[in-house]
Amino acid sequence: MIKKLIHLIISFSAFGICFLLASLADSELNSGTFSLKEVIVYIFSIQWIVFIPAYLLKSEKFYDLTGSCTYVFAVIFVLYNSTQNIANLILGGAIIFWAVRLGIFLFFRIKKAGEDKRFKEIKLSPTRFFMAWSLQGMWVSICSLCALTALSSQTGVVENVFLFIGLIIFLFGYTLEIIADKQKTKFRSVEENKDKFITTGLWSKSRHPNYLGEILLWFGIAVMSISSLSGYQYLTLISPVFSYVLIYYVSGVRLLEESAKKKWGDLDSYKEYVKNTPVLFFK
């Protein structure tokens, strides 16, 4: 009972934190069409609505796809109701482009695998599974909030040097993520590599180059957004920091490193790989 209560507290705290950040960002906006608080409510509502059939079916197959679709919805909603300019389309398009690619990639990956092992026990508990969907709402909200704030500002995204520097960083991170994903997918498609770990290509430079790419692309989004922010809105620049903490310490790197250690921790080849290859950033 206590664990279930903790799950619910974490879930609604996640919503509360995002709603508070949106409220602070709203205080600097002059838009009468909509508020960022409204967008946050939509983002979490989508997660909580989809959670219902997902729990009834005990399925996580649409989890990642729902997250990606929520990014697309949030950006399109704000773009439609905000100032229309080229810079807005560049920033909004970058997030949509990334979300569509990632959503499709993760959906077909889990469809092929049959399940996401992270959810094997989580999906059996209604409160714990609900918490997972709520944390996804937090991921979408915090990662995109600086961009959504910039898009909804009175002048829209400012077309200056920061926009183009951020776009270059975004494209570099995006490309890194795509190449790393393709290299790993190709490696796993070979039957004899089924129980082996990849050490070639980008994976010889970093143990998690795909996650490095994601962290960099969100940093690029923050740089693209920064010139349109003011006052409390600068708090939304927590986006790339949140992305790093989430990926490195919570859902990504930490879980994969623990799993890899259980599988290959006794192998000298794996010990050597770990010794010579950084966890995240290239040498």
Q: Following DSSP, what letter does each residue of 223-265 receive, concatenated?
A: HHHGGG--GGGGGGGGHHHHHHHIIIIISSHHHHHHHHHHHHT
Classified as helix, coil or strand, 156 is coil
249 found inside a domain: yes
User: Angle, nearest 10°, between helix axes 63-80 and 126-152?
Assistant: 30
Q: Write the DSSP string, 157-186.
A: S--SHHHHHHHHHHHHHHHHHHHHHHHHHH
186 found inside a domain: yes
Task: For residue range 67-97, list pLDDT tens digits in order.
Answer: 999 999 999 999 998 878 999 999 999 999 9
Does pLDDT of 184 surpass 70?
A: yes
Does pLDDT of 183 surpass 90?
A: yes
Alpha-carbon distance values, 279 to 230, 254, 273 (Å) = 35, 10, 10
Does pLDDT of 31 surpass 70?
A: no
Distance CA 56, CA 87 (A): 43
Distance CA 84, CA 69 (A): 22
Does pLDDT of 235 surpass 90?
A: yes
282 found inside a domain: no
User: Angle, nearest 10°, between helix axes 86-113 and 161-188?
Assistant: 10
Rounded average pLDDT over 115-128: 79
Does pLDDT of 119 surpass 80?
A: no
Contact 190, 223 (CB under 8 A): no
Does pLDDT of 104 surpass 80?
A: yes
Rg of the chain on CA atoms, in Å: 19
162 found inside a domain: yes
* Percentage of the residues of the chain whose pLDDT score is greater than 90: 55
Q: What is the DSSP letter of 154?
A: S
238 found inside a domain: yes
Least confident range from 30-39, 186-195, 206-215: namely 30-39
Domain of 244 in residue numbering reads as 2-276
10 found inside a domain: yes
pLDDT at 82: 84
pLDDT at 67: 94
pLDDT at 267: 86
Neighbour-count burial for 94-120, b at 16+ CB within 10 Å, e otherwise: bbbebbeebbebbbeebeeeeebeebe
Task: For residue range 198-232, list pLDDT tens digits in order.
Answer: 889 999 999 999 999 999 999 999 999 999 998 99
59: confidence class by pLDDT, cuts 50, 70, 90: confident
Rounded average pLDDT over 232-237: 92
137: confidence class by pLDDT, cuts 50, 70, 90: very high
282: confidence class by pLDDT, cuts 50, 70, 90: low
What pTM, to 2 d.p., does this model score? 0.89
281 found inside a domain: no
pLDDT at 71: 96
4: confidence class by pLDDT, cuts 50, 70, 90: confident
The one-letter code for the residue type at 248 is Y
151 found inside a domain: yes
pLDDT at 271: 87
Count of domains in the chain?
1
Does pLDDT of 21 surpass 90?
A: yes
Distance CA 178, CA 62 (A): 21
Does pLDDT of 32 surpass 70?
A: no
Least confident range from 27-31, 59-63, 170-174, 259-263: namely 27-31
Rounded average pLDDT over 97-103: 92
Does pLDDT of 159 surpass 60?
A: yes
